[in-house]
Amino acid sequence: MSLIARTPKPPYYAVIFTSLRTEGDNGYGEMATKMVELASKQPGFLGIESAREEVGITVSYWLDLESIQNWKANFDHQEAQKLGHEKWYSSFKTRISKVEHDYGI
């Protein structure tokens, strides 16, 4: 998987998940890998980028808002969200944005 997602020509959507983790892994790494694999199989999924230092930032790209809603409602993803609330994140924020322009090399 490329470190920079290869997205199509805009418009498309970005889900930006910013988080602060709790201490220890507590199964987080395994679940994060599973969620990326699962998301990549969802209709409308376009790619993902992630970085973690003090603050974790994961941006997933989606074709449309319906695809994002379907991913949020996915049973396995809901279980991961529940565990995130209970033990993996001390704080988090999710933002959804419409990408109207992009450029790069």
What CATH code would you report for 12-99?
Answer: 3.30.70.100
The one-letter code for the residue type at 39 is: A
pLDDT tens across the length of the chain (105 residues):
578 999 999 999 999 999 999 999 989 999 999 999 999 999 999 999 999 889 999 999 999 999 999 999 999 999 999 999 999 999 999 999 999 999 998
Map out the domains of the chain as residue ranges.
Answer: 12-99
pLDDT at 105: 81
For residue 19, give every residue at least 6 positions away whose Cβ sits within 8 Å of its Cβ, in sequence order, or none. 55, 56, 57, 58, 84, 89, 91, 92, 93
pTM of the complete model: 0.92
Q: Which helix (H) or strand (E) holds 25?
A: none
DSSP conformation class of 85: I
Tell me the HSE value of 13 on the side-chain side, using a 13 A CA sphere.
16
